[in-house]
Structure 1
């Protein structure tokens, strides 16, 4: 009989099909498990699958007395109280690097779309303004990528791939990270220094208390009126009020955002600004990324139920 696994977050059923071939899934559909799943079934649950951004605290863990493994679908785990899990003997696993290439691709896509104003250009054609030769200040020539200074905040696996892709566009690349790495890119000792140097700041840092709203009004001011910010990490890294003010007041030139402070509800004012490119957290949403993330989930659950350490544990 397959081992029971609680699906804690809301996932499209298509993403759970492969995993469901290996385990008996108890799908809570994103609702509190005790509201939709029988008490006797939850009492025997030893492992769960969750999105890393879903809030999972000690109180929720206590409601599953036999829980010993939390497996994140994806690389992030910022919603999980790791100290509470460790105190209860619960192992936490994730899918490190599984979607790194796809997320790096969307970062570059957002950067190009923002810098070259592709959304504005698309609207200019569709509206008939181009055919009518109607002048548009948003269609004035902009600096391209050659020689542009791109700063990457966070040089993990995703950050490295972003840096390599940006360099291929003949841009200068610099970075700030918790530690210095043996790479060809220029290192900066602080986020403030990186923002002051670059004209595109790409956020690829892991979310957590230490990075909450770390990109604030001062950082955006350092970026300057010709600067752009691109976020493919977590919405919590940027102060949303400071970002909105910077975009409206043209403290910065624009932004490309795949993640948002309150998903799926970006601020209404943000959606009305022409200097912002918005996508619905689709950085890792490719066939190959989902295949890789599912492989990691299956590997983590398989090793757990075999009595071995998780294949891809979170290292805090």
Structure 2
């Protein structure tokens, strides 16, 4: 029996590739010099797409594959997939929720701690000899007892809030509506600007897409203020990057800890000139354990589809 043909949009770890190639015929789109020709030559055979959250699958690619049945996203976010185009064709879409939630929350809190306590410049201070030559690093700011705002109380936002509660932080959040079942001392704030005004630290844990694009704009950043810290472990699109850079450059915002950027990995070079940012290479879910679980879920969703079984984590 022939194996289903899958178009692989981006690279995966070796352990995922091995499992996928054992079950499917994988076509490495990301290695092709002429990608349009690569797709044309295989268009009639491709029945599935295996992609990554930030790479997605646009309408042009979906339209070019007449026998496409399923798109499996390696990641929680699927805003880079043209859901309308997929839905119009009856193409199923899956993602990998839950398996990365706690690692992303861990990393967000780690960035908060690193930014607040100067972990990265502290190590540089020691390595450069400045500790011996100049004495102690200039004082930083505490985390415990501060006010935290969670912009988006989904799975990841909830896990961030739970971790912040362990630091005795005052927790408030913004979402479409108040969430049931949360601790009574977690305060719902309907407006992102109002949330930022009361926060010392603002976490962005929103889903991507048109509805949240640029939601963290100039008003939110200025409300967070010159002593505030922005932590983005969501999608780069949720933050107006131009407004963020201006706020950092003018010191209207105190600090930003960022794991995501527009046009990554080719981020705006203005970020590199600032000492008020902590820059990370989109690695919030980057643990061996989580990446193996994500890869297995991509494999298992594809396998379930072609076996005529229910998808494990359907989007549509």
Q: TM-score range by the shorter chain?
A: over 0.9
Stretches of structure 2 that go unaligned for 5 or more consecutive residues are none
Match of 1:35 among 34, 37, 40: 37
Does the CA-based 8 Å contact 2:39-2:64 persist in structure 1?
Answer: no
1:94 deviates by 0.6
Aligned to 1:72: 73
Distance in 1 (CA, whole Å) between partners of 2:59 and 2:274 is 40
Aligned to 1:183: 182
Any idea what the Cα deviations from partners look like across 1:286-306, whole Å, max 9, x if unmatched?
A: 111112112211221112101
Any idea what the Cα deviations from partners look like across 1:235-289, whole Å, max 9, x if unmatched?
A: 1111111111111211121111111111001211211211211110011111111
Does the CA-based 8 Å contact 1:167-1:173 persist in structure 2?
Answer: yes
- How many residues end up aligned between the 2 structures? 311
Does the CA-based 8 Å contact 1:75-1:98 persist in structure 2?
Answer: no
Any idea what the Cα deviations from partners look like across 1:186-208, whole Å, max 9, x if unmatched?
A: 11111111111101001010011
Distance in 1 (CA, whole Å) between partners of 2:228 and 2:103 is 24
SS of the residue corresponding to residue 291 of structure 2 reads helix
Any idea what the Cα deviations from partners look like across 1:62-113, whole Å, max 9, x if unmatched?
A: 2110001011011110101111111111111111112111111110111111
Distance in 2 (CA, whole Å) between partners of 1:207 and 1:267 is 20
Distance in 2 (CA, whole Å) between partners of 1:160 and 1:30 is 38
1:20 deviates by 2.1
Distance in 1 (CA, whole Å) between partners of 2:274 and 2:196 is 23
1:124-273 to structure 2, matched below 5 A, reads 124-133=125-134, 139-181=137-179, 182-184=181-183, 185-273=186-274
TM-score (norm 2): 0.93
Q: Does 1:286 align with 2:287?
A: yes
Alpha carbons of 1:89 and 1:272: their partners in 2 closer, same or farther (altered >3 Å)? same
1:213 deviates by 1.1
Aligned to 1:60: 61
1:309 deviates by 3.7
Aligned to 1:5: 6
After superposing the two structures, state which structure 1 stretch, 217-226 or 178-187, moved more.
178-187
Distance in 2 (CA, whole Å) between partners of 1:123 and 1:23 is 47
Distance in 2 (CA, whole Å) between partners of 1:103 and 1:19 is 25
Any idea what the Cα deviations from partners look like across 1:94-136, whole Å, max 9, x if unmatched?
A: 111121111111101111111112222222222222111268x
Does the CA-based 8 Å contact 1:50-1:73 persist in structure 2?
Answer: yes
Distance in 1 (CA, whole Å) between partners of 2:134 and 2:59 is 61
Does the CA-based 8 Å contact 1:215-1:237 persist in structure 2?
Answer: yes
Alpha carbons of 1:157 and 1:179: their partners in 2 closer, same or farther (altered >3 Å)? same
Distance in 2 (CA, whole Å) between partners of 1:10 and 1:18 is 14
Aligned to 1:96: 97
Distance in 2 (CA, whole Å) between partners of 1:309 and 1:34 is 32
SS of the residue corresponding to residue 46 of structure 1 reads strand
Distance in 2 (CA, whole Å) between partners of 1:16 and 1:109 is 30
SS of the residue corresponding to residue 290 of structure 2 reads helix
After superposing the two structures, state which structure 1 stretch, 225-234 or 57-66, moved more.
57-66
Q: Once superposed, what is the RMSD of the aligned Cα atoms?
A: 1.8
Does the CA-based 8 Å contact 2:150-2:205 persist in structure 1?
Answer: yes
